[in-house]
Amino acid sequence: MGKYSILGLKVVLALITAGTLFVQLFMIPMILIHEASSDSGERLLQTSFLSYLFLAGLVIETCVICVWKLATRVKRGTVFDPASLGYVTPIIIAFAIASLATLVLGAILATSTEIAPGAVLLVGGAGLLMIGISIIVLVLRQLLDQAATTQTQAAALRDELGGVI
């Protein structure tokens, strides 16, 4: 990746983080203050949704931090180091947690008579999509692991060849 693409990625990641923090620190509390419902069924749905939004923010922030670190390693040319795997694993875990939370939210929404079944189906589909993303990132982690191993083996062979010459 070039210098400008890394810079562009980091600008986008910074904007995503700012937006996520804005939602977590300002929007969710404002909704809690202004939309206090008296009906216990509505309160459960509201609390579930706002909790889900907060957790989604944590997932996004975790992924942003890890991608930022990986982009920095790409810029330095050290991405094929086994230490890079430590930045991919939290992304897998974060998406797995997000998919579980999404499926739980779908189950909570399904108990309400006011939520359309199609909306519940969409939330369930989003949960399955996140499971798929988690699996894709797991496969990419395995590819990164293979590349790091190949890089290490190539360096060892170069050293050995240098000793022979």
DSSP 8-59: HHHHHHHHHHHHHHHIIIIIHHHHHHH---S-HHHHHHHHHHHHHHHHHHHH
Task: For 67-78, write each residue's pLDDT tens digit.
Answer: 999 999 998 988
pTM: 0.85
Q: Largest Cα–Cα distance of the chain, in whole Å?
A: 82
Q: Which domain holds residue 149?
A: 3-164
Domains held by the chain: number = 1
Q: Tell me what the mean pLDDT of segment 131-152 comes to.
A: 92
Task: Note the pLDDT of residue 37.
Answer: 62
Give the span between the Cα atoms of 118 and 136, in whole angstroms: 27
